[in-house]
Amino acid sequence: MTRRRSRALAALVVVGVLAVGFGVFVAASPRHRAFYRGDTPVSATPETSATGAARGPLGLTRSAIVATTRAQASVIARDGRLEVPLADPVPWTLPADGTPAGWTLKEFVGQADVELRRTEGRLALRLRSDKSSFLLYRDVIVDLAETPNLTWSWKVMRLPAAGDARTPKKDDQAAQLYVVFPRWPSPVTKSDVIGYLWDTSAPVDSRLTSAKAENVKLIVVESGRQNVGTWRRFERNVLDDYVALFNRKPPRVGKIALMIDSNDTRSDAESFVASLAFTRPR
């Protein structure tokens, strides 16, 4: 499959799943629809924490409310951090193959190879691609006005041979993290997406626009083989990135997605991801 088709499919699915999952849930729930759109408080009778801060359902502040289509919490609020779990719940026995609970899998080319495991003292998701392309996504509603920084750790084991986000026929990456911003009333066509990439060739800080979807913007945060095999921690102010890329104030985050592909270069790739969280400014 050509880069044009696979990348177009990826962009469309990252945005399109909003209507299938997140959109259906929010549309069916007046309380969460009002919260996401910022019309009214989440709860008319909020609880109050020990510090006096207003609390909504699950004992979290409004910006910490995160729900899946089954109305399950998908972040854990700890000391100003909104941690995005790698599984709901973590299996008793690890390593565990397959899509972790709380995530949804979309395969574009070939078969997905996903494993949840503990490595070097941390819980991590391992994604492996053999000439394949696939995506994991989940609902995560976050108000960037309160927790604008996205932090995560990557360890890339193998990069796609000669992968290059700037070249259509070589557009493969071992590690990709996407933040999706639903825009109402047409989330499928209006939603914005920011993708953070570890690319084989494109220089760090390269900023690109998807050839098939102008609302999908890409930022290269790591490049090349120098740090392959090493855990690398990243932190991005997503609010600032959004304003710089889209020249407007962002809506709330609605989804987060992980992707790996090596189908265009007909090679293989492998990466680990861990410690996903949204945090307050330092």
Supply the CATH number for residue 84's domain: 2.60.120
Terminal Cα distance for the chain, rounded: 44
- Tell me how far apart the alpha carbons of residues 69 and 26 are, in angstroms, rounded to a whole number: 8
What is the arithmetic mean of pLDDT over 181-206?
91
Q: Token digits for 200?
A: 């084989």
What is the percent of the chain where pLDDT is above 90? 65
**pLDDT band for position 5 (50/70/90)?**
low
* Residue 36, pLDDT score: 40
Please identify which residue in the block is written with the tokens 């990826």. Answer: 10
> How many helices and strands in the chain, by DSSP H and E?
5, 17
Considering only residues 110 and 43, tell me which one the structure prediction assigns the higher pLDDT. 110
What is the arithmetic mean of pLDDT over 70-94?
76
- Tell me how far apart the alpha carbons of residues 71 and 35 are, in angstroms, rounded to a whole number: 14
* Residue 21, pLDDT score: 44
E strands in 120-185: 122-130, 133-142, 149-158, 173-181
* Residue 9, pLDDT score: 52
The tally of domains found in the chain comes to 1
* Residue 10, pLDDT score: 56
| Domain containing residue 159 | 3-279
- CA-nearest of 62, 142, 81, 74 to 104 is 74
137 in Cβ contact with 106 (< 8 Å): yes
282 in Cβ contact with 147 (< 8 Å): no
For residue 14, pLDDT beyond 80: no
Looking at every residue in the chain, the average pLDDT score rounds to 80
Other CB atoms closer than 10 Å to residue 214's CB: what's the count? 10
For residue 183, pLDDT beyond 80: yes
What is the arithmetic mean of pLDDT over 195-212?
93
* Residue 6, pLDDT score: 53
* Residue 185, pLDDT score: 79
Q: Name the pTM for this structure.
A: 0.78
Beta strand 192-199 pairing with 216-223? parallel
